[in-house]
Structure 1
Amino acid sequence: MPALEVENVSLQFGGVKALVDVTYHIEKGEIFSLIGPNGAGKTSMLNCISGLYSPSQGSIKFMGKDIINMKPHKRTNLGISRAFQNIALFSQMSVLDNLKLGRHTKMKSGLLSGGFYWGAAQKEEVAHRKAVEEVIDFLELKDIRHTPVGRLPYGLQKRVEVGRALALQPELILLDEPMAGMNSSEKQDMARFILDMNALQDMTVVLIEHDMGVVMDLSDHIAVLDFGKLIGFGTPEEIKENEAVISAYLGEEEDEEVS
């Protein structure tokens, strides 16, 4: 069973067609990249998967379950998490508190549990803290755990943004340009973390990225969008040889890095 099945998905804003009859699938346990020119519909597609947008038509299934009418927090609890292209952290809060906040949809104990059944609430807090500490260790954030994220350099803020999505312990993680604006060393670190998410934590990774070197090195399969339409789908080798993709995207971008 594929981890994600996107079938005939279209998205329209008034007269603007952001996605047009897009169909592809993502196998469980792979690194899948979504590429294309700026404005091709890549982020719109992630918004449809995560539930921020509702497609005009089509279906989206996660592990065989239709999620098209499911609210975003329900999809999160099902095992889908998202890191955004534009950093959406609380700048005055510490790295630790931002990551803990990422666990809020996992909280089960309500006010009564905290007030009258302190033991159950305490156990839940310990479990959530353990999950957050694992993310801190994984992303090598121990030395800055108590630092307000607004004081961190951009590359580390992007890492915390990814960490907040990881704190949900997802089966499918959506990464929208996690390396945008990073220098070469920071990109290498992020690429290593993505490979480890996939190999060590058994996560299916969906990646939007403009650095074609990174995409070709990391991806098992790639889907290419152009003006909202799917123009290519396959392995990196197949995408490199796809004439439509070369004409629309790779031919123009292969010698330059877009951030």
Structure 2
Amino acid sequence: MNNMLTIENLSLQFGGVKALNDVSFHIEEGEIFSLIGPNGAGKTSMLNCISGLYQPTKGSMKFQNQEILTMKPYNRTGLGIARAFQNIALFAHMSVLDNLKLGRHIHMKSGLFAGGLYWGAAQKEEVEHRHAVEEVIEFLEMQDIRNVPVGTLSYGLQKRVEVGRALALNPKMILLDEPMAGMNSSEKEDMARYIIDMHETKGMTVVLIEHDMGVIMDLSDHIAVLDFGKLIGFGTPEEIQNNPEVIKAYLGEEEAG
């Protein structure tokens, strides 16, 4: 299997604070990959580096063998990297449908002047984008809330719309930062099913941050473990569960009886 993303010796520093310290790992194409670690370990900082919101201090980051370390966020989106945020960043007064349509903006090519001589091309493009959005609505089972203002929805449904907006970009790799946070057990089961379908049906590479270790161990092909900005473990779920350093720092040890 080919590497989708290769990170080598990546460091991120804010003044005297090292958020990430010489981190290296790779993510294989088409897998479900998870980042875990205690609060403040650097997980979201890593996603911010991958999506382009943060500029690492040093290191290398290659997406499908192309160096993207200094690339702008919208250029990374154009390559096929999409992001759903931990803190919901939706337009509360707008409908689910309109929020998802906004997620397609990076693929719009006809521009602001499409209403003139290029109306035909723009109209065709609008139909194509609407079709892509409808696929996301069907995929995430949001038909009943398509025209509902996002701000009136439950937190769990808003998280689903946040993931949907990233899916609307039709990414090769989707970054999900705690997509199940604040959800009840039923909503978590639904989200887990959607993540599996992204992987198996759509063939996407999924990068996941999640605190529910049961979910992580069930879904992940490989896991990277961060602690105080350093990589302390990398491997399959079984390898991570049996890694002494990871057990000591994060998973916890069973007390001797």
* Equivalent residue number for residue 8 of structure 2: 7
| Structure 2 letter corresponding to 1:112 | F
Deviations 1:179-236 (A, max 9, x none): 0111110000000000000000000000000000000000000000000000000000
Please state whether the residue corresponding to 1:75 is helix, strand or coil: helix
Q: How far off is 1:87 after superposition? A: 0.4
Please state whether the residue corresponding to 1:187 is helix, strand or coil: helix
* Equivalent residue number for residue 123 of structure 2: 122
* Equivalent residue number for residue 257 of structure 1: none
Q: How far off is 1:59 after superposition? A: 0.7
* Equivalent residue number for residue 94 of structure 1: 95
Q: Taking structure 2 as the reference length, what is the TM-score of the superposition? A: 0.97
2:61 and 2:68 in contact (8 A); partners too: yes
| Structure 2 letter corresponding to 1:80 | I
Instruction: Provide the rounded CA distance (Å) in 1 between the counterparts of 2:109 and 2:63.
Output: 23
Q: Taking structure 1 as the reference length, what is the TM-score of the superposition? A: 0.96
* Equivalent residue number for residue 180 of structure 1: 181
Q: How far off is 1:69 after superposition? A: 1.0
Instruction: Provide the rounded CA distance (Å) in 1 between the counterparts of 2:231 and 2:75.
Output: 28
Instruction: Provide the rounded CA distance (Å) in 2 between the counterparts of 1:213 and 1:18.
Output: 26
| Structure 2 letter corresponding to 1:98 | N
Q: How far off is 1:117 after superposition? A: 1.1
Q: How far off is 1:112 after superposition? A: 2.5
* Equivalent residue number for residue 219 of structure 2: 218
**1:88-237 aligned within 5 A:** 88-237=89-238
* Equivalent residue number for residue 50 of structure 2: 49
Please state whether the residue corresponding to 1:12 is helix, strand or coil: strand
Q: How far off is 1:113 after superposition? A: 2.6
Deviations 1:157-184 (A, max 9, x none): 0000000000000000000000011111
Instruction: Provide the rounded CA distance (Å) in 2 between the counterparts of 1:60 and 1:107.
Output: 27
Instruction: Provide the rounded CA distance (Å) in 2 between the counterparts of 1:158 and 1:88.
Output: 10
Please state whether the residue corresponding to 1:115 is helix, strand or coil: coil
- The answer to which of 103-112 and 17-26 deviates more is 103-112
Please state whether the residue corresponding to 1:18 is helix, strand or coil: strand
* Equivalent residue number for residue 68 of structure 1: 69
* Equivalent residue number for residue 23 of structure 1: 24
2:110 and 2:118 in contact (8 A); partners too: no
Q: Which aligned runs of 4 or more in structure 1 are off by greater than 3 angstroms?
A: none
| Structure 2 letter corresponding to 1:18 | A
Q: Count residues in correspondence.
A: 253
Instruction: Provide the rounded CA distance (Å) in 2 between the counterparts of 1:163 and 1:46.
Output: 18
- Identity of paired residues, percent? 77
Please state whether the residue corresponding to 1:113 is helix, strand or coil: coil
